[in-house]
Structure 1
Amino acid sequence: MTGHARWKLSRDKEIAKGISEGPELEKMREEIRLSHDLGQAVHDRRTEVGISQTELAKRAGMTQPQISKLELGGTMPTLPLLARLARALDAALSVELDGETSRVTFTAHTPAA
């Protein structure tokens, strides 16, 4: 588990402490999981490309704090913003949702021949 992921898990546990078991807690857990999956995918692709949060923000028409918040799972972006992020990361974005399972991946575009 990366330092990024450890920090997120700790923060998410703190958020969930104030909510008793039940549908509300399950909904919050799902939202946290989805936000984390997306944030981790953005972080992984950005570091794979070798660019800073500031550079990604510039490419995607965002600010560095917005990128930071996104990578930490603190926000769920709109579809148009996801499209801008995919372009900025020179990748295709895939989001698979199947019941309680989700997978978010950025796949690098192959260079034109």
Structure 2
Amino acid sequence: MANYSRWSEVRAERPAPSEETRASVEQDLALGQLIYDLRTEAGLSQRELASRMGTTQSVISRLEEGGGARNRIDTLARVATALGRHLVLSFPEEVPGDMKDSVQVA
């Protein structure tokens, strides 16, 4: 007979994620949401954006879902170029209060 567990039991046995892990996931999700918002604002499907980037629709889906493994700068630069946008990286001493079309990742 198979040994089935309830999700609540499995979850109870797993340790809670650290604050660092939680923050990292939230940043990935925020970046994915930004990519989705910019793509839909441009009126593009995932397939159309992928074509402009020279990649597949599944890559765009993964980016919009939070990236999976950390998003690489070159991939984000290709997204920006395909959307007619600019990718700006900065290491300011203080973070500006509100920047349109941005995600703070550190």
Q: TM-score, normalised by structure 1?
A: 0.63
Higher relative contact order, structure no. (Cα contacts within 8 Å, ≥ 6 residues apart): 2
Equivalence map 1:97-112=2 (5 Å):
105=101
Counterparts in 2 of 1:27 and 1:53: CA distance versus 1, 3 Å: same
1:82 pairs with one of 73, 76, 82: 76
Compute the RMSD of aligned alpha carbons.
3.1
The CA deviation at 1:95 is 6.0
Structure that is richer in helix per residue: 1
Identity %: 37
Aligned pair count reads: 87
When Rg is computed on C-alpha atoms for both structures, the one with the higher figure is 2
Unaligned runs of 5+ in 1: 1-15, 107-113
Query: What amino acid is aligned across from residue 59 of structure 2 in structure 1?
Result: Q
Q: TM-score, normalised by structure 2?
A: 0.66
Distance 1:96 1:72, change over 3 A: farther
1 or 2, which has the higher strand percentage? 1
Q: Is the 8 A contact 1:40 1:71 kept in 2?
A: yes
